[in-house]
Structure 1
C-alpha cells in the first residue's frame, strides 16, 4: 500500500487493531501492511505510532496495555538511563561501581556516595515501605488504575529487554541491566516524591550515632538561618521552572494560553520524555514525563494544559527530642520514655581489588521518622541531651501517579482543582493551568507538613526560631504532645495541610511562577495570608521572577495574545540582569582611572576594551549576541564578590517588588575586581571580549558543535541554561541543566488543541539514535515542533511509523 494511503488508514485505527501482531521498534507498518491485522496470541499489547522527532503516540484498550506501551517505548529510547536508576533503587550501586564513588545520577536522591545511596534505598526495601503503601486502599493509597499502569510499564520494559539488543554504549554489555517488577516502578515514583524530604538528605540518616560530649560549633559553619535558606536554593537550582497561564481576557480568541518551561537536568534520570497516551473513550493526554513514570506529568488534553514549577514549600520538618539521661537511644514524650527502633542495613560493596563484601550500618528511627545528624550545611548533632528526627509526610505518599493521571483527565481548570483535591499527591510542585473556556490557574497544591504559624510560634526550638522565619524549615519541640502537627478535615492523611489551605489564584489575566513563593503569581493581585512554610511574602524576588513578571504582565496588558507570542517569549533570551546593570557597568568601566582595574590576585588588568563591548551588548543571551559572554562571566564574579546588601544603590521595597532593588553600586571595590577577573579570564582562554555567545556556549553531539542560546538563573533569563565552564575547551561546553520539555498550548474551540513542543535534548540519550540530538538542533535554532494530538494530524505526519508491541 503506498504511504499516503497507509496514513489515511491509520487515521481510523481503533480498538480492533489492539490485537495486532508485534513489530520491533523501527519497523514501520507501511513496510508490511498486512501485519497490523494479525492476532498477537495474547498478553499485553499496545499500538505505538511515531511522528516527527521520535514522539510516540501510544494507544491501548486498557491501563495495563497503556502502561506496557509506555514501558516499551521508554526502554527503546532510554534503556541505559532507566537501568542505572533501577540499580540505585535496588541498593546495588556499591556492588557494581564501588562505595566511595559519587552516584552518576542524583535524580532519585541526593546521596553523596554510592554507599550512602545504597544504605538509604536498601533501608526502604528492608522495611517494605513501598509494598505497605501499595496495599493501602485508594484514595490514601494508589488506585487500581495506577497499579495497572505500573504493572504494565514493568511488563513493557521487560518485553523490550527480551526482544531487543541494546546498542547504547553506556550499558551495551552491562550485567546490571535486569528485568524489573511493578514494585520497582512504584519505588521509582516513591523516590521522586521524596526528593524534597528524606531523599534530599540521606547522608544524615543512613549511618547515625550519638557523639561523646557537647557539640562545638565547627569553624566555618554557616549561620543556621542562612544554611536553611540554602536547602531550598539548592533544590530550585537543581530542578527549577517557569510557567505562565493567560486567561481568555488577554488572548485573541478569548481562550486560555499556557507556556511551560521546566528547568531540569539534561542528563540522567530526571530527563523528561515525551509521548501521547490514549485509551479510546477513557483517556487522551500528551506531554512530558520523568523517566520511569507511566503517566504524563506535564502536558495537555483537548480542553486543558498544565505545567509545574518547583515550589518553595518546605516539604519536611524536624522535631528535636530530649533524650533520656544516660540513654541516648531513648527519648521523652511528655516525660515518658520511648525507645528508638534500630535498623541494621547491609549492602554489598565492591572494593578497589574487585572483591565484594558486605557493609552494615545502623539507622535509628523514632515515632516521627529517622534520626538525622545534618541537613547539608546545617549540623544537627546527636548529643547526650537531644537528637533530631525528620518528619516527611511524603514518606507515606504513593499518590503522585494518581495525581498526574487525574490531571490528564481534567476537563478544564475546575477539573484541575478537583483532581488535586481528590488525589493530594503532588509532593513539591506548583501547578499552573489554562483551559479552552478561558480560565487560568496558579496553585501551590503540594503535600506539606501541617506547621501553622501558630504552631511554629508556640513550639519552635531555639534553632527553629532561626530557621523557620528564614526558610520555612520548622524545628519543633518533639517532647510535647501538644506540638503534634494535627490534621485538617479535608486532608487525606494526618499531619498535612488540606486543599482549602493551598495558596491559589483563579482567572487572573496571567498566573506565573518562576520558583519564588506564591506572593507574586500575579503582581497586581498578590497572594498573602498563607503559612510561612508555603513560602514568604514581602521579600526580594529573584531576577528570573522579576524578569518573567515584567514580560508576562506586559503581554497581558497588550492583549490579543496568540501561540506565536508564547514562542517569542520562550526564545527572546532577554537578560534582566543586563537590562538592570549593563549600562551602569559600561559607565563604571569607562570611569576607571587609565582603564585599568586590579583582579582578585592583585594584578592590574587593562579593562578598557570591555567598556565598549558591554555598552554595545544587546542585553540578550542569544547565540549571536556579542558581549553576552563577558557580562555573564563578570556577573558571576560580581555575585561571588559583593554581598547583596552592597550590590544595589536602591534597596528592595515591598511596595515595588518587581522593579527593586536597582541601580548597580559601581563604587563598591568588588565591582572593579570582578570586571578585571572576567576580562583576564577570557583573555587567558583566548576568547575575544565581544565574541558571539554561541561560539563559546555549546554542546557537542556526535562530534558536531551545536550553539546554545539562553542564560543562567542568576541573569534572570526565562530560557534558563546552566552550563559547565571549561575555558581550555572554549567556554561553556556542556549544558547540565535548564530548559527541558517546553510546551506552548492554546485552544481554538475545536477538539484539536493548538500546541508547540520542544524536548531540548531529544528523546534518546543513546548516541546511535536518530533522536539523540535532533531537537537540540531545533533548540539551537529557536524552533518548536507542531504537536500532533488529533488522529488526522497523527496520520498526516511525514514518515509515520506504526509499531505493534506486545509481550509475545
Structure 2
C-alpha cells in the first residue's frame, strides 16, 4: 500500500511541475488509479467533504477529462438522459408522446424535441459554430475542455458498472463526442428563445385550402402569452455584492443564491478546477459544462440571476401571393428553407416532418396554446434568436475563472459576449462591486420598434418587451453596434451596468433597482422595465441589503444570516391585516367557495401569532402560504393593496392589504377547509409539511414560494395526501457566501441544496440536503493547505 501511495505522489509531483504538487495520500486515505481510455489525457481528482472534487491537470484537455470523469461518477444518468435529448433520440428510447423533463427545452413531447434537436444536428449548426474563429466562436482552450470532457465521461463509462437505478443497464447510456458537449451549450443558449417554442417550430406548416386566409393573431392573447413565455420558467435567483467600505476588512463580499431546478439537466455540480500557474477556480457548473458557471477564485467572486431581457423577437413575413413558402423582402421573393427531419420511434414507424426556416429564423405559428400566430396565404411569423449563433458562454466563464477583479469580469463579458439570459453580479478582494445585464439580446431599440413595428408589435412590445418587426423591409432588421462581437446584437457599451456602488443586488427584477439609491435608467425596453412595481422578493432584498450596507462592518457570517433569514416580505405587509380582518368576522365564520360556512376563529389566532418567517419550525407559515396562494388567484394585484405602487417609493409600495376585496373571506375559509381535510393542524410547523424524502428519510426544508417574497426561495409540489409539500421543483440551489481576509485564500461558505449526486446509492445523494434543512454550510477548501488537511481526503488519478 505504501509503495503504491508513494508512486502516486511521485507521478503527481512530476505532472504538476508548474505549481504546488498534489499531496500524497496518507495511509488512512483511499487512493485509486484509473486507466480509462487512450488519448494521452490525465488528471488528479482530490475529493474532500461532501464529495466535492478538486481537479488538477497540466492542460485544458486534461482538465476537461477529469471534469467529465468526475461529473459522470456523480450524475451519469442525468447526463446520459440529456445526451439522448440532444441527439434527437428520445422517441426511439422512451416513445414519442412522453414528455421530456424540460431541462433543455420547453418541448412538451419527445417527438417535437427530437425533431428540433435532430434538425439542428443535420443542418450542421454545431460544426459551423465551432469552426468560427474566436471570439465569435469558442477558443482552442474551450474546445480542448469540451474534447477532454467527452473523453473523461466516456472513460468513466468504460471503466464502471452503473449502479444508479435510473439508468443501470440502459441501452441509451452511450459514449459522447465533443459535438455532444457543444450541443448542450447550444441548448442552454437558446433555452429562452427557440427552446421556448420548439413545439411550434416543429409543427408549423403552410396553409392548405382549409386554412382561413384572413385569420389574424389576437394581440391581447399573444401579449399575455409572451409575458408568460419569456418569464423565468420557474427559475430565478438572488445575488448581492457589497463594496469594501461596507465590510469589516475593506474586501468585497458576495452572496449568490440561484434558484434552479432540483432535478434534471439544469442541476449544478460543484468542483474546483486547476491548471497550476494558469487557472484556479472553484464553484458550480451546470451539468455537462466543462467550465465553472458560478464561483470564485483568490481574487473575485461572481453569481448570476435570470435577467428580464427578451432574447429574441418575432418577424412578421409578407408572403408571395403565388407561394406561401416564399416571403418578400423589399419587394423581392425569397424562398423559405425546407428542413425535413426523420425521427426513429420506439415500437413504431419512423416519423418524418418538415420545418420551415427563413433568413430571420424558424417559422412559428404560436407563442403557446392560447396565442396563435396564424400562417395564412398572406402572412407568416418567424422567431429571430441571436443566441442560436452563440457558443461563447464557455469562454465567458473561463474568463471569469481567470479574472483578478470585477473589471476583468466585465472585460470577459465585453470580449466574449456569451451569456444568453442572465445578469452578472460580482465583488473582488479589492472591494469593488459590479452589476451588469450583459446578456445577448437582439439589437431592438425603441426607435426601431417605433419605425418598424407591425400592428401586433405595437401591443406586444410595451406590454412584454417582445418586438414584432416588419420583415418585408430590409431597413427593419436590427443593426450592428461597432463593439458587438456578433452582428445584430447590442454591444457592451449599450448594456445596463452599475459599478462600485455600496451594494448591487438583483432578485430577477430589471436593472432599474440594482441599487435603490442609484437607479439605472436609459436602456431600451427589450432589457426590461423602468419605474414599474418590483416583486416582493426584490423589495425585501433591497430592504435587507441596504440596511446591512448602511450598518457596515460586514463579514461572511452576515451573508450566511441573510441567506437564512427566511423572512416573508408579504407576511410583514399583510399577515397582521389579515389576522385583524379575520378576528372581526361575525361569529368567527367565513363562507367558502362551495357555500360552506367555516369556523375560522383558530386561523385568526394562528395568523396573529405567526412570526412572518418560513423557518422549518415556524407555526402559521403554512397556513399563510396556502391562504396567500388562494387570495392572489382570486384577487387581481391592482385590487390587492389599499396603497398603490409609486415609482418614487418602489421599495415600500404597494402596501396595506385590502381585506375588503371580495375574495378575501373565501380564500380564508377554503384554506382552513383544505388543511383540516388533509389532517394538517393550522399551526403546524412548516417543516412538518414542507420536506423532501431521500432514502426513506423525511428532510424538512426552510424557505418559501415566490409570491411570499422570501429570499430563500423554494418552489415545492403540494400533495396533501402525502402530508404537504413533498418535493422541490426549483429553488435555492448552489449557494455561496464569499469574502477575503488578505491571506490569499478566499473565505467561502457553500451549499448545494440537493447534494452532489443524483444516485440514491451515493453517500452524497442527500448529505448537503440535510445541511440545508439545518441551515448549515460547507466550509470551502480552496488553498492547498485546506485541501491537504481534509479528514476525508481521497485521491484518484485518472489517465490512460
- TM tier, shorter chain? over 0.9
Counterpart of 2:55 in structure 1 is 58
Counterparts of 2:303 and 2:478 in 1: how far apart (Å)? 30
| 2:253–2:428 Cα contact (<8 Å) kept | yes
Counterparts of 1:499 and 1:265 in 2: how far apart (Å)? 30
Counterparts of 1:720 and 1:705 in 2: how far apart (Å)? 19
Counterparts of 2:220 and 2:50 in 1: how far apart (Å)? 47
Counterpart of 1:619 in structure 2 is 612
Q: Quick check: 1:689 aligned with 2:686? A: no
Counterparts of 2:568 and 2:32 in 1: how far apart (Å)? 54
Give the drift of 1:11: 13
- State the SS of the aligned residue for 1:205: helix
Structure 1 pair 448/34, CA: closer, same or farther in 2 (3 Å)? closer
- Structure 2's unaligned 5+ residue stretches are 19-23
Structure 1 pair 740/37, CA: closer, same or farther in 2 (3 Å)? closer
Q: Quick check: 1:16 aligned with 2:15? A: yes
Counterpart of 1:580 in structure 2 is 573
| 1:28–1:803 Cα contact (<8 Å) kept | no
Counterpart of 1:562 in structure 2 is 555
Counterpart of 1:454 in structure 2 is 447
Moved more, 204-213 or 401-410: 204-213
Q: Quick check: 1:368 aligned with 2:360? A: yes
| 1:17–1:36 Cα contact (<8 Å) kept | no
Deviations 1:338-362 (A, max 9, x none): 1111111110112xxxx23210111
Counterpart of 1:24 in structure 2 is none
| 1:11–1:791 Cα contact (<8 Å) kept | no
Give the drift of 1:753: 0.4
Counterparts of 1:662 and 1:34 in 2: how far apart (Å)? 60
Counterparts of 1:239 and 1:223 in 2: how far apart (Å)? 24
227, 244, 251: which is aligned to 1:229?
A: 227
Structure 1 pair 634/305, CA: closer, same or farther in 2 (3 Å)? same
Counterparts of 1:741 and 1:617 in 2: how far apart (Å)? 29
Counterparts of 2:613 and 2:27 in 1: how far apart (Å)? 46
Counterparts of 1:309 and 1:360 in 2: how far apart (Å)? 39
CA RMSD of aligned residues (A): 2.2
Structure 1 pair 554/43, CA: closer, same or farther in 2 (3 Å)? same
Counterpart of 2:92 in structure 1 is 95
- Structure 1's unaligned 5+ residue stretches are 20-26
| 1:510–1:556 Cα contact (<8 Å) kept | yes
| 2:36–2:798 Cα contact (<8 Å) kept | no
Give the drift of 1:804: 0.4
Give the drift of 1:596: 1.0
TM-score normalised to structure 2 length: 0.96
Give the drift of 1:28: 7.1
Deviations 1:615-647 (A, max 9, x none): 000000000000000000000001100001110
Give the drift of 1:226: 2.3
Counterpart of 2:540 in structure 1 is 547
| 1:272–1:289 Cα contact (<8 Å) kept | yes
Counterpart of 2:313 in structure 1 is 317
Counterpart of 2:383 in structure 1 is 390
Q: Matched residue pairs, number? A: 790
Counterpart of 1:466 in structure 2 is 459
| 1:92–1:347 Cα contact (<8 Å) kept | yes
Structure 1 pair 2/524, CA: closer, same or farther in 2 (3 Å)? farther
Question: Where do 1:467-486 residues align within 5 Å?
Answer: 467-486=460-479
72, 75, 86: which is aligned to 2:72?
A: 75
Counterparts of 1:413 and 1:196 in 2: how far apart (Å)? 27
Counterpart of 2:658 in structure 1 is 665
Counterparts of 1:251 and 1:802 in 2: how far apart (Å)? 37
Give the drift of 1:210: 2.7
Counterparts of 1:213 and 1:417 in 2: how far apart (Å)? 51
TM-score normalised to structure 1 length: 0.95
Question: Where do 1:577-656 residues align within 5 Å?
Answer: 577-656=570-649
Counterparts of 2:685 and 2:126 in 1: how far apart (Å)? 51
Give the drift of 1:152: 0.1
Deviations 1:498-517 (A, max 9, x none): 00011000011110001110
Deviations 1:392-413 (A, max 9, x none): 1011111111111111111111
Give the drift of 1:198: 0.4
Counterparts of 2:371 and 2:711 in 1: how far apart (Å)? 31
Give the drift of 1:749: 1.5
Q: Quick check: 1:282 aligned with 2:274? A: no
Structure 1 pair 673/32, CA: closer, same or farther in 2 (3 Å)? closer
261, 266, 269: which is aligned to 1:265?
A: 261
Structure 1 pair 34/366, CA: closer, same or farther in 2 (3 Å)? closer
Give the drift of 1:38: 12
Counterpart of 2:402 in structure 1 is 409
| 1:30–1:802 Cα contact (<8 Å) kept | no
Question: Where do 1:729-808 residues align within 5 Å?
Answer: 729-806=722-799, 808=800
Counterpart of 1:436 in structure 2 is 429
Structure 1 pair 556/173, CA: closer, same or farther in 2 (3 Å)? same
- State the SS of the aligned residue for 1:594: helix
Deviations 1:749-792 (A, max 9, x none): 12100000000011000000000000000000000100000000
Counterpart of 2:202 in structure 1 is 206
Give the drift of 1:15: 5.0
Counterparts of 2:622 and 2:422 in 1: how far apart (Å)? 32
| 2:34–2:796 Cα contact (<8 Å) kept | no
Q: Quick check: 1:494 aligned with 2:487? A: yes
Give the drift of 1:214: 4.0
Counterparts of 1:39 and 1:300 in 2: how far apart (Å)? 31
Structure 1 pair 617/44, CA: closer, same or farther in 2 (3 Å)? same
Give the drift of 1:40: 11
Deviations 1:673-701 (A, max 9, x none): 11111111000000000000000000000
Structure 1 pair 42/324, CA: closer, same or farther in 2 (3 Å)? closer
Give the drift of 1:207: 1.8
Moved more, 370-379 or 653-662: 370-379
| 2:68–2:151 Cα contact (<8 Å) kept | yes
Give the drift of 1:230: 1.4
165, 173, 196: which is aligned to 2:169?
A: 173
710, 719, 724: which is aligned to 2:712?
A: 719
Counterpart of 1:154 in structure 2 is 150
Give the drift of 1:215: 5.8
Counterparts of 2:34 and 2:672 in 1: how far apart (Å)? 67
Counterpart of 2:21 in structure 1 is none
Give the drift of 1:470: 1.2
Counterparts of 2:36 and 2:324 in 1: how far apart (Å)? 66
Moved more, 590-599 or 9-18: 9-18
Counterparts of 1:142 and 1:706 in 2: how far apart (Å)? 42
Counterparts of 1:348 and 1:181 in 2: how far apart (Å)? 21
Counterparts of 1:474 and 1:398 in 2: how far apart (Å)? 24
Counterparts of 1:12 and 1:711 in 2: how far apart (Å)? 50
- State the SS of the aligned residue for 2:134: coil
Counterparts of 1:97 and 1:54 in 2: how far apart (Å)? 32
196, 208, 216: which is aligned to 2:192?
A: 196
Q: Quick check: 1:296 aligned with 2:295? A: no
Counterparts of 1:487 and 1:39 in 2: how far apart (Å)? 48
Give the drift of 1:604: 1.4
Deviations 1:536-585 (A, max 9, x none): 01100111111111110111011110000000000110000100000000
Question: Where do 1:524-535 residues align within 5 Å?
Answer: 524-535=517-528
Structure 1 pair 659/37, CA: closer, same or farther in 2 (3 Å)? closer
Moved more, 600-609 or 135-144: 600-609
Counterparts of 1:521 and 1:619 in 2: how far apart (Å)? 25
Counterpart of 1:254 in structure 2 is 250
Counterparts of 1:37 and 1:175 in 2: how far apart (Å)? 24
Deviations 1:64-104 (A, max 9, x none): 0000000000000000000000000110000111111111x
Counterparts of 1:222 and 1:726 in 2: how far apart (Å)? 34
